[in-house]
């Protein structure tokens, strides 16, 4: 279903027809039903939907509505537009009720006169939504229900969108004046429909069709909304510009996001189309994004623009998009080199991942003439681990947003990225440091590095030719699960602690010289990995994980990296962010690794 089009341009407002309105002359008050909970057509980036404001007391916060202003057409830029205040607000029988009191100021009296004579018939509530739930109705339409929202003002407007919301005529004190008869005859309804068609340029044919169908005025208003939206979608989008061009909303959003990401240091080169936005702060970017959607933002203050951009979702979406890019850049730069030893996979859910290691088929048997072909067997072994969730909440305050404190936002994103990487790093290196550096317990009940696995040096030694030769021999000597078949594992990586970095570098330089005529008999070069989370003299040799993996890191398939989500602050003013990271690490084999506790006489200690 299409949205409200020109009739209701603000998605943070909900209009309602006053209907059979009553005005109390003595107290200058008007009792209204500002919402009946009816669905209203809207549109967002995903397309049309039905918006429902839940009137469950647990979902709507009325604390800011009692005492809130009564405005003329949601005008927040001028004190002259304040017509009075909301004296009471409550929810009863599934409807939102309020009592409005008009100011006695002379410039308000003409508006009161129009309420008396029935030419002003509608109210509209302004609100902010912090949480939605989505569903599908019986017609297959997408429905978004506001499950955490706050109304903050009520306005008098020209036309209503919620036909079930009317001003109450019962239980009002004496001295009330009715602005309209409780019922209209058919001639009056037909005249109202023709006036509606004239006001919105819908044409005589549209009005005749509504009259011929016997439509009531409420149904005609709903049909007018749908017809205006249909015509808006069918009409070509032509926009005239003087000076700077405002492109399509999606393009403008992308350029603002690029500019903000570049200022935060997470984008190396700023694309040319985005350079005009680089000097803008949060308010400036919110202003151009709203203008690109066709909203009038020139008379609005920066704070009003930011509030509006929060309501439409433009600002939270901008912060989330750029924040994720900064977070990922920081995360990638802070990853441990040890993760290069891990095979990367994905899991669909959080159930235990079982990694089956298949052995080798038995050798082929000679088959004599007319002989029987025998079945061969295959050995297997399994390791397991699971993906887990890690998360943290933080907030960007309203003051930081209004003050355009980009530095605070950028630092928060970078810290979140580093902390996400650190969480993964600690889990990965933690596999090595278990058991005093001998690794986790495998499915056979032994540590990863164990004499029965043939991957532990029998003689402690510092890295050097003879020590590397022993490691090479041990790794090449590994056998398949049948205990017989060679698997020819070749070391590719040397892992040491920072204390041993210089000694290990010297050892590699001596064993693997640059000049080709002095190539060591091992005939292989090792890549040095220095892991700051390790300590002591123990060192490790690992095969290339592409050919023989010992460790595995698994990410949730729907989120293969840390993800940041946002929502408008409910407990605190501002925007709340949540970083979620789903991953699991595990040891899946021991045959592609080797360890030596090192020469304890060099540094005076082990791990």
Q: What is the DSSP string of 510-563?
A: HHS-SSGGG--TT----EEEE-TT--SS-EEEEE-TTTS-SEEEEEETTBSS-E
Are 174 and 25 found together in one domain? yes
Say if residues 36 and 54 touch (Cβ distance below 8 Å). Answer: no
The per-residue pLDDT for range 177-202, each reduced to its tens digit, is 333 333 346 777 787 788 778 777 78
Cβ atoms < 10 Å from Cβ of 563: 19
Residue 522: pLDDT over 70: no
Structure tokens at 460: 């402690």
In a domain, 332, yes or no: no
In a domain, 263, yes or no: yes
Specify the higher pLDDT residue, 557 or 474. Answer: 474
- Which distant-in-sequence residues (6+ apart) come within 8 Å of 82 by Cβ? 69, 70, 71, 72, 103
Task: Specify whether the backbone of 22 is left (phi greater than 0), alpha (psi in -120 to 50) or beta.
Answer: beta
In a domain, 217, yes or no: yes
For residues 321 and 76, give the distance between their C-alpha atoms in angstroms, rounded to a whole number: 30
Are 300 and 225 found together in one domain? no
Cβ atoms < 10 Å from Cβ of 129: 21
* Least trusted range by pLDDT, from 38-42, 413-417, 470-474: 38-42
Tokens 């939270």 correspond to 316
Say if residues 133 and 148 touch (Cβ distance below 8 Å). Answer: no
Residue 4: pLDDT over 50: no
The per-residue pLDDT for range 453-474, each reduced to its tens digit, is 999 999 999 888 889 999 999 9
Residue 125: pLDDT over 80: yes
In this prediction, residue 127 carries a pLDDT of: 82
For residues 426 and 339, give the distance between their C-alpha atoms in angstroms, rounded to a whole number: 10
Rg (CA), the chain: 36
Are 195 and 161 found together in one domain? no
In a domain, 308, yes or no: yes
Say if residues 34 and 125 touch (Cβ distance below 8 Å). Answer: yes
Are 129 and 142 found together in one domain? yes
Are 90 and 152 found together in one domain? yes
Residue 558: pLDDT over 60: yes
For residues 315 and 295, give the distance between their C-alpha atoms in angstroms, rounded to a whole number: 15
Range of the domain at 214: 183-232
Average pLDDT for 298-308: 81
Say if residues 392 and 576 touch (Cβ distance below 8 Å). Answer: no
In a domain, 421, yes or no: no
For residues 170 and 304, give the distance between their C-alpha atoms in angstroms, rounded to a whole number: 37
Are 87 and 191 found together in one domain? no
Are 152 and 274 found together in one domain? no
Domain termination site, one of 312, 339, 360: 312
Say if residues 555 and 347 touch (Cβ distance below 8 Å). Answer: yes
Handedness of CA 552, 587, 480, 527 (dihedral sign): positive
In a domain, 503, yes or no: no
Average pLDDT for 563-585: 78
Kind of pairing, strands 176-178 and 539-543? unpaired
Are 188 and 170 found together in one domain? no
Are 72 and 123 found together in one domain? yes
77 φ/ψ angles, rounded to the nearest 5 degrees: -95, -5
Are 102 and 36 found together in one domain? yes
Which candidate, 372, 441, 361, 395, places its Cα nearest to that of 579?
A: 395
Kind of pairing, strands 82-92 and 69-72? antiparallel
Say if residues 225 and 5 touch (Cβ distance below 8 Å). Answer: yes
In a domain, 247, yes or no: no
In a domain, 336, yes or no: no
Q: How sure is the predictor about 13, in pLDDT bands with cuts at 50, 70 and 90?
A: low
Are 110 and 225 found together in one domain? no
For residues 305 and 286, give the distance between their C-alpha atoms in angstroms, rounded to a whole number: 7
Q: What domain count does the chain have?
A: 3
Cβ atoms < 10 Å from Cβ of 55: 17
Three-state secondary structure call for residue 482: coil
Are 16 and 94 found together in one domain? yes
Residue 9: pLDDT over 80: no
Say if residues 435 and 447 touch (Cβ distance below 8 Å). Answer: yes
Which candidate, 77, 86, 177, places its Cα nearest to that of 123?
A: 86
């Amino acid at each position: 279903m299409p949205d409200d089009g020109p009739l209701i341009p603000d998605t943070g407002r909900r209009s309602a027809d006053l209907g059979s309105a009553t005005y109390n002359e003595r107290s200058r008050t008007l009792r209204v039903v500002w919402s009946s909970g009816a669905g209203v057509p809207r549109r967002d980036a995903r397309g049309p939907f039905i918006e429902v404001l839940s009137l469950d007391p647990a979902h709507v916060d009325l604390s800011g509505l009692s005492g809130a202003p009564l405005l003329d057409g949601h005008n927040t830029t001028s004190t002259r537009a304040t017509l009075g205040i909301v004296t009471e607000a409550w929810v009863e029988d599934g409807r939102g009720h309020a009592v409005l009191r008009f100011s006695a100021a002379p410039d308000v009296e003409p508006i009161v006169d129009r309420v008396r004579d029935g030419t002003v018939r509608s109210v509209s509530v302004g609100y902010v939504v912090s949480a939605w739930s989505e569903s599908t109705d019986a017609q297959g339409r997408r429905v978004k229900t506001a499950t955490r929202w706050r109304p903050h003002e009520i306005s008098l407007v020209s036309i209503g969108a919620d036909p079930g919301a009317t001003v109450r005529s019962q239980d009002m004190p004496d001295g009330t004046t009715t602005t309209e008869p409780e019922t209209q005859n058919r001639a009056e309804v037909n005249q109202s429909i023709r006036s509606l068609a004239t006001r919105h340029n819908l044409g005589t044919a549209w009005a005749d069709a509504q009259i011929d169908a016997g439509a009531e005025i409420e149904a005609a208003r709903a049909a007018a909304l749908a017809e205006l939206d249909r015509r808006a979608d069918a009409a070509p989008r032509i926009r005239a510009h003087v000076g700077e061009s405002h492109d399509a909303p999606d393009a403008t959003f992308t350029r603002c996001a690029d500019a903000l990401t570049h200022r935060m240091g997470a984008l190396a080169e700023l694309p040319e189309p985005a350079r005009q936005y680089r000097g803008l702060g949060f308010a400036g970017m919110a202003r151009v994004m709203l203008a690109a959607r066709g909203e009038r933002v020139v008379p609005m203050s920066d704070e009003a623009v930011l509030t509006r951009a929060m309501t439409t979702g433009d600002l939270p979406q901008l912060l989330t998009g750029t924040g994720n890019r900064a977070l990922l850049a920081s995360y990638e730069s802070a990853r441990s080199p040890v993760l290069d030893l891990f095979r990367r996979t994905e899991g669909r859910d959080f159930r235990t991942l079982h990694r089956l290691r298949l052995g080798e088929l038995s050798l082929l048997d000679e088959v004599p003439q007319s002989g029987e072909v025998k079945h061969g067997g295959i050995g297997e072994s399994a390791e397991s681990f699971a993906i887990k969730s890690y998360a943290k909440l933080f907030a960007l305050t309203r003051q930081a947003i209004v003050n355009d404190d980009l530095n605070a936002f950028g630092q928060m994103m970078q810290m979140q990225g580093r902390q996400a990487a650190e969480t993964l790093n600690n889990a990965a290196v933690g596999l090595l440091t278990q058991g005093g550096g001998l690794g986790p317990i495998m499915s056979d009940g032994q540590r990863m590095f164990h004499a029965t696995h043939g991957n532990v040096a029998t003689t402690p030694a510092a890295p050097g030719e003879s020590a590397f030769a022993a490691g090479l021999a041990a790794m090449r000597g590994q056998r398949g699960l049948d205990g017989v078949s060679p698997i020819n594992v070749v070391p590719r990586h040397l892992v040491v602690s920072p204390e041993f970095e210089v000694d290990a570098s010297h050892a590699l330089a001596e064993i693997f010289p640059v000049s080709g005529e002095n190539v060591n008999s091992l005939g292989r070069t090792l890549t040095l990995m220095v892991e700051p989370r390790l300590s002591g003299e123990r060192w490790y040799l690992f095969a290339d994980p592409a050919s023989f993996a010992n460790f595995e890191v698994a990410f949730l398939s729907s989120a293969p990296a840390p993800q940041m989500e946002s929502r408008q602050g409910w407990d605190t003013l501002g925007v709340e962010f949540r970083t979620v990271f789903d991953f699991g690490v595990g040891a899946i084999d021991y045959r592609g690794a080797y360890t030596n506790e090192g020469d304890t006489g060099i540094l005076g200690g082990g791990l």
